C-alpha cells in the first residue's frame, strides 16, 4: 500500500464501555473540542437502538447535524453525497452510529474530505494509506458484529467492485460500546451480525497476516461470542454484554490479521443476491473449515507455516466443541442453522453452475493471499458447489 506524504499517525482509540455509555458521547466530544458535529447513522437504527438519546445531552453551543443518505454496503455515489455534505457543513467531528456500513461511511467521510471530487474514484483505487485527517472521529456500534469501531479500514463499492480505504487515520479517536444498543433489530439481524463476528474471529485465527496478539484477541473474542450467540438471537438482553465485547475483540484481531476467503467470497453474494453480509460470510465458512482441515502442506500459501496452520485449526475445533478439525465445518453450519440462518446457496437464489462460476470469478485472487490455503478459481467453484 502506498503512503500519503506528511502523515500524522493517530494514537490508540479511547474505548468506553457500559450500559448507557452512548449518552456520554456529547461530553466526550467536548473534550475533543468539537463544537460542530455530524452524526452519520443508519436510517432506522439510530432511533430503534436507543442511540438517539444522546441528542438530549448536547450543550446549546454545539451544532449537531444528522445524515443517513446511504444504503447497506454503500457505494461511491453515496459517499460523494456525504462528502458534499461535509464540505458544506465543515464539522469538527463525525460520529458514526450503527452497524458496519454507518461506521465505515463515517470513517470514509473523515479521511477523504480533502480529496477533490473528480479524483475520488482514482484515489480509492490507488490504495494510498490514510495517515491524517482534520476531523475528530467517534464510533458507536449498534450491532454486535462488524467490529468496525476497532479497525483501520473501511469498505466502499465502485460498481460491483469492493475497495478498502485503509491507514492509521481510519481508526477513530474513541469507540463507545453500549451493549443495550445491540438488543434492537430482528432475530435474523442479530443472528447475521453475531455470525459475522464469529466468522471474523475464526478467519483471524488462521489468517496468514495473523500474529500472536491477533490470535489471542480472536480466541478471547470467539469464546465470548460462542457463550452468548444462541441466547442473543432469542433473548438479547442477557447476552448483549459477551456479544458486544466479543465482537470488539475480534474487530481488534482483524485489525491486525485482516479476513480471508469466506469474507472475500461474501461481497459478490451480498451485491448480487441481497444476502446480508454476515449471512453471506457464514454460507461459505463451513466449506472453508472443511477444506482447510483436509489441506496438505503443498496446498498452503508460501507464507503460511504448516505447524501454525494446524495449531489454528486445533484452536478452532476446540472452541467449536469439535472432536477434530474435520468436524469443525459441520459444527459451524449446525450453529448457524440453530440460530435461524439458511445455510445453502440455493436457499438464497444461487441455483446454477454458471452462477457459481460467476461468484468465484468475482473474487479478487490477490485478496486471497491472506487465506492460508491456496485456491484457484476452479477450486473456489468446487468449494461453492459444496455450499
Task: Report yes or no: 193 and 101 within 8 Å, Cβ to Cβ.
Answer: no
Give the C-alpha separation, 316 to 369, whole Å: 20
Q: Is the pLDDT of residue 79 over 50?
A: yes
Cα–Cα distances (Å) from 201 to 33, 103, 142, 292, 303, in that order, read 36, 19, 19, 16, 20
- Cα–Cα dist 225/191, whole Å: 11
Q: What is the pLDDT of residue 384?
A: 97
**How far is it, in rounded angstroms, from Cα 309 to Cα 335?**
23
Residues whose CB is less than 8 angstroms from the CB of residue 112 and which lie 6 or more positions away in sequence, other chains included = 79, 83, 120, 123, 124, 130, 165
Contact 9, 131 (CB under 8 A): yes
% of the chain residues with pLDDT over 90 = 92
pLDDT digits (tens, 9 = 90+) for 183-215: 988 999 999 999 999 999 999 999 999 999 999
* Domain boundaries 2-182, corresponding CATH code: 3.40.50.1970
pLDDT tens readout for residues 338-359: 999 999 999 999 999 999 999 9
Q: Which fold, 186-385?
A: Dehydroquinate synthase-like, alpha domain (1.20.1090)
What residue segments make up the domains of the chain, in order of their start? 2-182, 186-385
Tens of pLDDT along 282-329? 999 999 999 999 999 999 999 999 999 999 999 999 999 999 999 999
Residues 278-291: pLDDT tens digits? 999 999 999 999 99
Separation of alpha carbons 319 and 21, rounded Å = 31
* 299 CB-contact burial (10 Å; exposed 0-12 / middle 13-18 / buried 19+): middle
The string of pLDDT tens digits covering residues 38-62 is: 999 998 999 999 999 999 999 999 9
Please identify which residue in the block is written with the cell numbers 494514537: 11
State if pTM tops 0.75: yes
d(CA 114, CA 316): 43
- Split at pLDDT 50, 70, 90, the class of 10 is low
| pLDDT over threshold 80, residue 11 | no
Please determine, for residue 6, whether its predicted confidence score (pLDDT) is greater than 60: no
Q: What is the mean pLDDT of the chain?
A: 94
Q: Does 8 score more than 90 pLDDT?
A: no
Write down how long the chain is: 387
The stretches of the chain forming alpha helices (DSSP H) are: 25-31, 45-48, 76-89, 100-112, 120-126, 187-206, 212-234, 236-257, 261-273, 277-294, 306-320, 325-338, 353-361, 377-385
pLDDT (0 to 100) of residue 7: 34
Amino acid at each position: 500500500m502506498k503512503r500519503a506524504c506528511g502523515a500524522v499517525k493517530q494514537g490508540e482509540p479511547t474505548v468506553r464501555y457500559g450500559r448507557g455509555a452512548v449518552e456520554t458521547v456529547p461530553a466526550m466530544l467536548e473534550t475533543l473540542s468539537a463544537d460542530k458535529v455530524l452524526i452519520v447513522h443508519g436510517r432506522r437504527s439510530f432511533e430503534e437502538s436507543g442511540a438517539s438519546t444522546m441528542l438530549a445531552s448536547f450543550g446549546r453551543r454545539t451544532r449537531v447535524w444528522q445524515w443517513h443518505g446511504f444504503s447497506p454496503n454503500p457505494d461511491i455515489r453515496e459517499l460523494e453525497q456525504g462528502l458534499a455534505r461535509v464540505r458544506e457543513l465543515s464539522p469538527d467531528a463525525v460520529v458514526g452510529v450503527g452497524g458496519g456500513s454507518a461506521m465505515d461511511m463515517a470513517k470514509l467521510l473523515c479521511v477523504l474530505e480533502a480529496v477533490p471530487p473528480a479524483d475520488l474514484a482514482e484515489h480509492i483505487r490507488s490504495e494510498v494509506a490514510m495517515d491524517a485527517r482534520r476531523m475528530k472521529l467517534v464510533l458507536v456500534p449498534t450491532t454486535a458484529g462488524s467490529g468496525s469501531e476497532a479497525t483501520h479500514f473501511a469498505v466502499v463499492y465502485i460498481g460491483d467492485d469492493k475497495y478498502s480505504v485503509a491507514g492509521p487515520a481510519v481508526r477513530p479517536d474513541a469507540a463507545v460500546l453500549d451493549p443495550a444498543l445491540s438488543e434492537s433489530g430482528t432475530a435474523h439481524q442479530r443472528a447475521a451480525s453475531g455470525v459475522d463476528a464469529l466468522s471474523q474471529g475464526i478467519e483471524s485465527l488462521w489468517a496468514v497476516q495473523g500474529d500472536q496478539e491477533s490470535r489471542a484477541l480472536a480466541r478471547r473474542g470467539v469464546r465470548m461470542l460462542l457463550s452468548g450467540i444462541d441466547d442473543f438471537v432469542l433473548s438479547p438482553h442477557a447476552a448483549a454484554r459477551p456479544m458486544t465485547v466479543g465482537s470488539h475483540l475480534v474487530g481488534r484481531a482483524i485489525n491486525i490479521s485482516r479476513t480471508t476467503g469466506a469474507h472475500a467470497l461474501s461481497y459478490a453474494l451480498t451485491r448480487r443476491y441481497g444476502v446480508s453480509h454476515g449471512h453471506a460470510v457464514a454460507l461459505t465458512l463451513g466449506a472453508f473449515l472443511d477444506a482447510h482441515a483436509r489441506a496438505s502442506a503443498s496446498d498452503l500459501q508460501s507464507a503460511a507455516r504448516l505447524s501454525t496452520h494446524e495449531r489454528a485449526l486445533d484452536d478452532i475445533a476446540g472452541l467449536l466443541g469439535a472432536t477434530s478439525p474435520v468436524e469443525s465445518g459441520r459444527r459451524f453450519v449446525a450453529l448457524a442453522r440453530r440460530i435461524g440462518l439458511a445455510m445453502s446457496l440455493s436457499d438464497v437464489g444461487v441455483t446454477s453452475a454458471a452462477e457459481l462460476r460467476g461468484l468465484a470469478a468475482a473474487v479478487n485472487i490477490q485478496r486471497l493471499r491472506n487465506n492460508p490455503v491456496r485456491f484457484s478459481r476452479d477450486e473456489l467453484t468446487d468449494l461453492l458447489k459444496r455450499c
